[in-house]
Amino acid sequence: MSDLKDVFWLTLKEKRDIALAVLFGFLAGLAGVALLGASGYLISKAALTAQMTTLVVMAATLKLFGFAAAIARYGERLFSHRATFTMLGHLRGNFFERLAPLAPGIFQRHKSGDLLSRIVGDVESLQNFLLRVLYPPIVAGLVLLATVFFTSFYSLPVAFVILGGAIFSVVILPIFFAYRRRNKAHTTRVSRGEFASASTEFLYGFRDLKIHLALDQKSEDLRAQARRYEQAQQREGLEENRVQSINALFAFLTSFLVLALGAYFVSIGELSGLFLAMLVMVSLGAFENTGPLAALPAYFEESRIAARRLEEVVDRSPDDSTGVMPEGLPDIVADDLCYHYPSDGRLALENISFHLPAGSKTAIVGPSGSGKSTLLLLLLKVIEPDTGSVHIGGSELATMKPESLWQRMNVVLQDNHFFAGTIESNLRIANEQAGPDQMLQALELVHLGHVELSAPVLEKGRNLSGGEKQRLAMARAFLKSERLWLLDEPFSSVDGLTAQAIYRELFTGRPEDSFVIISHDLAGLEAIDQILVLENGRLIENGTYKELMKRRGYFYGLKKIEEEIFV
Ligand SMILES: Nc1ncnc2c1ncn2[C@@H]1O[C@H](COP(=O)(O)OP(=O)(O)OP(=O)(O)O)[C@@H](O)[C@H]1O
């Protein structure tokens, strides 16, 4: 239940609607019991006395109870659903408030698509918490208690029998089945998750599978996963039916006991025969309210898992640092940085130390997977080091608000998002104030002067080439025009000549700015003040181009290989 603590308190915020839903549910249940009880009494009365006036009054009362039950049921549905949807609104708001400060670091742990479908699915699941878990036992319990109270006026032992049945149906059976269900629900959920991610992968990789003629084998894997999910669902369905049958069995057994006990008391003269049918019908009517409890264990488990999974996503303290990046162009000092990704035991970066003076140009090079992008993410405070520290302008990065850093940096990452709209609307996100002339100038700088600002951009920049996207991202950086540049392979898809020309314009146009550039391309590094060479997460060489070439170490080797390939 501790997983559902927050959802419980959020639900309780809707006290008024919940109280009204319980009240109307109780009245509807009571009216149903009264309807059946009165009909039982009417039958007995008709059989034993056949007094016309009594029969007419009783028939009218029956109509009234039927009418009251329908109205009360409507009120119950109205208020319970209103409380549920308001609670879901609070839940979404509350969750988003906790999630937003964790972005963009959250995407290191979850894929954005997974995260979205997971959050939407789990929040939706929690709509059942009030409707099918919280208030059905309260309503059923209250109706049964009222029935016990009523029957106690006619026969205490019969009242006790109904009380015993009530305790079994409302307390013991739901707890027992909820406990039994724990592992089973887990299996279904796991196989559903596996099937969902396998289907997504299948669709994303469809073209590659076709080209590599591997479609049949992957389809078979997917079918096997679908079968496993189907079997798990079947088992879950069977369990639900079992709970329903056992619930109904208990209700009938209790009513049967009421009948047997009532018949005995009638035979020994302790109960008037007139009331026997009424008591049996009252018992049947009261246990009708326990019907929805059959689904309670399943919904309880589903809500519990959904609440836990939502909590897992936001269960970390947001960055509440209040410091800001010092004014002016700062130097950057990294001291003994170590980092490992949460999903990976290996260190992605190990004991990295360096000094980037203000106004210097630094290139980070190294083989794929050596940790270059990870290092940039640490400098951007998207992720935090396991150990070690970074100081920017003498202040510790850990104390700075991430927004204060991002505001003062021109950042181009490997993947840049482009929104459906125009070139202008996509440039505007970098600088709200920029006018058309400034935008055209930025486009000119990245050799996209021929592109019109009104040109359309499709979703995710589908109508742009890889190189155009990168240059558009660079144009955003130009528009922002801060003095600290962090660029992660900004021109990997741009032809060498254009890339070199843009770099030249960048360096000559902004000789005083600081640059940190990740690049696979070792050409043109002569113009760089410092080169950091990473391999397997370690900083293995550090120096100017000349120093590294003179040292004849790793960088020299890479350079020679590159020359041999292109000669
Ligand atoms: N989100 C992630 N979760 C787990 N491991 C990751 C994640 N991102 C990167 N890694 C791992 O961390 C290591 C360093 O990755 P990183 O992206 O920093 O390398 P890189 O040098 O930038 O590579 P490339 O030149 O190919 O972009 C790699 O072994 C990679 O598998």
Q: Is residue 368 lining ligand 1, measured as CB closer than 6 Å?
A: yes
Cβ–Cβ < 8 Å for 311, 6:
yes
CA of 488 to the centre of ligand 1 (A): 12
Say whether 146 sits in a helix, a strand or coil: helix
Cα of 340 vs centre of ligand 1, distance in Å, is 10
In the chain the first and final C-alpha atoms are separated, in Å, by 69
Q: Ligand 1 centre from 370 Cα, in Å?
A: 7
Q: Which of 492, 503, 349 is nearest to 416 (CA)?
A: 492
Asked if residue 130 lies in contact with residue 18, where contact means CB atoms within 8 angstroms, the answer is: yes
Region at 461 (left for phi over 0; alpha for psi -120 to 50; beta for the rest) = left
* DSSP for 70-123, written as a single string: HHHHHHHHHHHHHHHHHHHHHHHHHHHHHHGGGTTGGGGTS-HHHHHHHHHHHH
Answer whether 137 contacts ligand 1 (Cβ < 6 A). no
pLDDT tens sequence for the chain (567 residues): 667 888 888 888 888 999 999 999 999 999 999 999 998 888 888 877 667 787 788 888 888 988 999 999 999 999 999 999 998 898 888 888 888 877 776 666 666 556 777 788 788 888 888 888 888 999 999 999 999 999 999 999 999 999 999 999 889 988 888 888 776 656 677 787 778 778 888 888 888 888 888 888 889 999 998 999 899 888 888 888 888 899 889 889 999 999 999 999 999 988 888 899 999 999 999 998 888 888 888 888 888 888 888 888 777 777 778 888 888 889 999 999 999 988 788 999 999 999 999 999 999 998 889 999 999 999 999 889 999 999 999 999 999 988 888 889 999 998 888 999 999 999 998 888 889 999 999 999 999 999 999 999 998 888 999 999 999 999 999 998 899 999 999 988 888 889 889 988 888 888 899 999 998 877 778 888 999 999 999 999 999 989 999 988 888 888 788 777 655
Q: Which amino acid is at 234?
A: Q
- 522 vs 559: CA distance, rounded Å: 7
**How would DSSP label each residue in 337-381?**
EEE--TT-SS-SEEEEEEEE-TT-EEEEE-STTSSHHHHHHHHTT
Write the ipTM.
0.96
DSSP 491-554: TTTS-HHHHHHHHHHHHHH-TTSEEEEE-S--TTGGG-SEEEEEETTEEEEEE-HHHHHHHTSH
Q: Where are the beta strands (DSSP E) in 366-489?
A: 387-392, 395-396, 409-412, 421-422, 456-457, 484-488
Please say whether the beta carbons of 518 and 376 come within 8 A: yes
**C-alpha 537 to ligand 1 mean position (Å):** 9
In three-state secondary structure terms, 185 is: helix
Is this structure's pTM higher than 0.80? no
Ligand 1 in contact with 290 (CB < 6 A)? no
Q: Based on C-alpha coordinates, what's the Rg of the chain?
A: 35
344 lines ligand 1 (CB under 6 A): yes
Displacement of CA 115 from its chain's centroid (Å): 5
Q: Measure 349 CA to ligand 1 centroid, in angstroms.
A: 10
C-alpha distances in Å from residue 107, one per residue of 99, 113, 195, 341, 537: 11, 10, 22, 11, 21
